[in-house]
């Protein structure tokens, strides 16, 4: 049986033949990966332009929204200051403190409302500082109103008392005048004088004696109280 294996014979130079790597043929060379993007360049450019346009529109809308929020905030600031002027300022003005302290307090309330809550200050009426200050001012207003009501009632009572006192003095003066007239002239007082003096007597006072004795004698005879 013959040996078919090939034996590498040494060369003349004494070196053994070394098998070199087999170079692949051009048909067996690896293929480069194909570019899956088949979009033309002009279509890619249109997509980028649309993206930039969309971003620009969003920026414009954001700018318009911020402008609208600024207008709303300014309107709420005016509303806040008007509310403080009506509800809080009368209480602050009634306090016996320096004017600079009053201004600093009001400014502090405004800053607390502006820094708290939403950016538009649409909820400033729910701010804790604002609600406490308004409640204190309202309580002060109620106390002042009660005090004014009490003063009015006291003044009315005083005026009524003075009126009754003056009326009492007038009745006494009328009685005295009627009695004196009756003594000096011997004429019976008129019906009006009798009604006002309640001195319905037909006896004329004596021409002699003390004036005051005659008056009290007439009162004693008429009313039986002296």
Q: What is the domain partition of the chain in residue ranges? A: 60-159, 164-223
* Residue 108 in this model has a pLDDT that exceeds 90: yes
- Give the pLDDT score at 5: 46
- Give the pLDDT score at 173: 82
Average pLDDT on 20-43 reads 54
- Give the pLDDT score at 1: 45
Give percent above pLDDT 70 in the chain. 60
Q: What is the DSSP annotation of the chain?
A: -------PPP-TTSPPP-PPPPPPPGGGSPPPPP------HHHHHHHHHHHHHHHHHHHHHHHHHHHHHHHHHHHHHHHHHHHHHHHTHHHHHHS-S-HHHHHHHHHHHHHHHHHSS-TT-TTGGG-HHHHHHHHHHHHHHHHHHHHHHHHHHHHHHHHHHHHHHHHHHHHHHHHHHHHHHHHHH-PPPPHHHHHHH-----PPPPSSS-HHHHHHHHHHHHHS--
* Residue 212 in this model has a pLDDT that exceeds 70: no
Give the residue with greater pLDDT, 97 vs 199. Answer: 97
* Residue 131 in this model has a pLDDT that exceeds 60: yes
- Give the pLDDT score at 133: 94
């Amino acid at each position: 049986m013959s040996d078919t294996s090939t034996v590498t014979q040494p060369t003349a130079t004494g070196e053994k033949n070394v098998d070199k790597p087999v170079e692949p043929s051009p048909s067996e060379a690896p293929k480069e990966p194909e570019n899956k993007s088949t979009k033309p360049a002009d279509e890619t450019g249109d997509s980028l332009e649309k993206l930039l346009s969309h971003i620009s529109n969003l920026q414009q809308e954001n700018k318009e929204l911020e402008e609208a929020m600024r207008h709303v905030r300014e309107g709420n600031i005016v509303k806040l200051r008007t509310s403080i002027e009506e509800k809080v300022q009368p209480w602050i003005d009634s306090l016996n403190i320096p004017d600079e302290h009053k201004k600093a307090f009001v400014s502090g309330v405004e800053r607390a409302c502006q820094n708290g809550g939403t950016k538009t200050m649409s909820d400033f009426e729910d701010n804790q500082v604002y609600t406490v200050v308004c409640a204190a001012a309202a309580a002060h207003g109620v106390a002042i109103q009660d005090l004014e009501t009490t003063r009015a009632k006291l003044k009315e009572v005083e005026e009524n008392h003075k009126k009754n006192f003056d009326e009492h003095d007038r009745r006494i003066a009328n009685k005295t005048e009627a009695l004196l007239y009756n003594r000096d002239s011997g004429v019976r007082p008129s019906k009006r004088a009798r009604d006002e003096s309640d001195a319905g007597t037909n006896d004329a006072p004596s021409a002699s004696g003390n004036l005051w004795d005659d008056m009290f004698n007439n009162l004693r005879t008429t009313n039986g109280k002296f």
